[in-house]
Structure 1
């Protein structure tokens, strides 16, 4: 009891001396700042979600920030009347193909750069990094001519193959492989394990977090592609979601733009990458070294 009383007296003394009052405002203002930052960043999404449920007349009432009753109608029209559902399927196929192809190609490239000796290996790696200065929009004209020569216009090949080579993914996998102990490589050599078997049975199981992180980045990047699909896909049935959203801008009711329909399409386009980010956020943080494994 005496010890408890002494502890209470110490707490009272500390509070009276100002140590508690000095610490409290710092923590309080820090939390207020964090809450304000989160609210500010999420405000556009919240407003878009609210507008996606409102009618045209409700949206043009500036002070009306309450959810409306047009949500089901707006989302149904966007998905089926304006073919966003079909566009989503195309975007999903494109994104998955790019993720699988890019990871497979990057793993093989990193395997060669780390575990094989060949002339000018470092120069090859520098050249791979140099391609970061030449993204797809910079190469759009020669790429378009190549697609025409290959007769790939309006095909899934045109919107997937140009994205398969990735200097960023090769760099990440190379750095990760270099951190794997050399003793495992020596053990594999003693067991006469070839390069592909070593990749499948040793490197990939030890790189699941890195692979998942690269997959998340690649999926979100592929899902949001707009310029290249717009250039090489001319018919509507093969178009992707980001380009398909453009068709919603022309909708109007009584001479007014249907912002509720447009916002419902924007929310629909946001949901798949958001789910991927939420489910695989841990390996994504590990990829950038922001979270310990």
Structure 2
């Protein structure tokens, strides 16, 4: 039996609260800074409570934009990031599911060779293969397009590996039962494997969505059209203004807005996400 020690319980809560304060304090400061005029952040002491220009600042960001981003509204940049993140996430999950299904349940020559070739690409991040990828995208005429932003990033060796390991734990009795019921490969995949994989899909959806939402280097490389700017590109352009001073109040407001979609995804899928990480029974 675990002993109930009030001192340890109090100490645990103190450490937990201190950790929460430590992690949330930068977010609090960004939220407060986004409600003040720029002049208030240029003098000491920095305000620690909300100002009276929050509505004006966020209205300007969402509808009018700022000169540092070419006047592109933050709402448009968030929409571009959302399309990119959802496209990358759905593409990665779909391709990884089909790849893992083929590797586990079909017998064809060099099956494991193809799997290890996919697995080896884990050692080749986007930054390593970005120049040849850019050359291929340019030759296909996909620069300055949503297709060019999404298509080169939808292959995922990590997701393929995770789905393969999950499919290997599915009992063989399910496969035999499907054969007895005359279920073909597509029906077995759609009616049995996909429902069993929903928690894994939810966990990967959160991880891959945040990965796609936070992409900076690839959109920065292939995008020159301001109407295709992503939210991360917008924040970077607001901070790097050359010899001028960064517009911190608007930059902080953009950062707060950029946090909203990932937070919504995490909250909406939190239960399935945790279940997908800890679930062991099939």
Q: For 1:54, what is the secondary structure of its paired residue?
A: coil
Does residue 122 in structure 1 map to residue 112 in structure 2? yes
The separation in 2 between residues aligned to 1:222 and 1:88, in whole angstroms, is: 12
Partner in structure 2 of residue 260 of structure 1: 249
Regions of 4+ moved over 4 Å: 290-293
Per-residue deviation, residues 73-110 of structure 1 (Å, max 9, x unmatched): 11111112211111111111111111221111111011
The whole-number CA distance in structure 2 between the counterparts of 1:92 and 1:187 is 41
Q: Once the two structures are superposed, what CA deviation does each residue of 1:103-151 show, in whole Å capped at 9, x if it has no partner? A: 1111101111111112232222222111011111111111111111101
CA distance in 2, matches of 1:88, 1:64: 28
Tell me, yes or no, if structure 1 residue 197 matches structure 2 residue 187.
yes
> Could you say which residue in structure 1 is the equivalent of 2:149?
159
Partners of 2:51 and 2:171 in 1: CA distance: 59
**Could you tell me how far apart the structure 1 residues matched to 2:251 and 2:234 are?**
11
**8 A contact 2:84–2:212 mirrored in 1:** yes
Is residue 65 from structure 1 mapped to residue 65 from structure 2 by the alignment?
no
Aligned to 1:8: none
In the other structure, the counterpart of 1:30 is 12
TM-score normalized with structure 1 length: 0.87
Map Cα deviations across residues 155-195 of structure 1 (whole Å, 9 max, x no partner): 11111111111011111111111111111101112223221
Gaps of 5+ in 2: 66-72
Residue 40 of structure 1 is matched in structure 2 by: 22
Q: Distance in 2 between matches of 1:149 and 1:240?
A: 23
Aligned length in residues: 271
Give 5+ residue unaligned stretches, structure 1: 1-18
Displacement of 1:237: 0.7
Aligned pairs for 1:86-165 within 5 A? 86-165=76-155
SS at match of 1:138: coil
Note the alpha carbon deviations across 1:200-232, whole angstroms, 9 max, x for none: 111111111111111111111101100000000
How many Å separate the matches in 2 of 1:56 and 1:241? 21
1:13-36 CA-to-partner distances (Å, cap 9, x unmatched) read xxxxxx97xx22211111101110
Distance in 1 of aligned mates of 2:139 and 2:249: 42
The CA RMSD over aligned residues, in Å, is 2.1
Q: By how many angstroms is 1:250 displaced?
A: 6.1
**Structure ID, larger Rg:** 1
When structure 1 is superposed on structure 2, of 220-229 and 175-184 the one drifting more is 175-184
- The change in CA–CA distance for 1:99 and 1:256 in structure 2 (over 3 A counts) is closer
Q: 2:263 aligns with which of 259, 271, 274?
A: 274
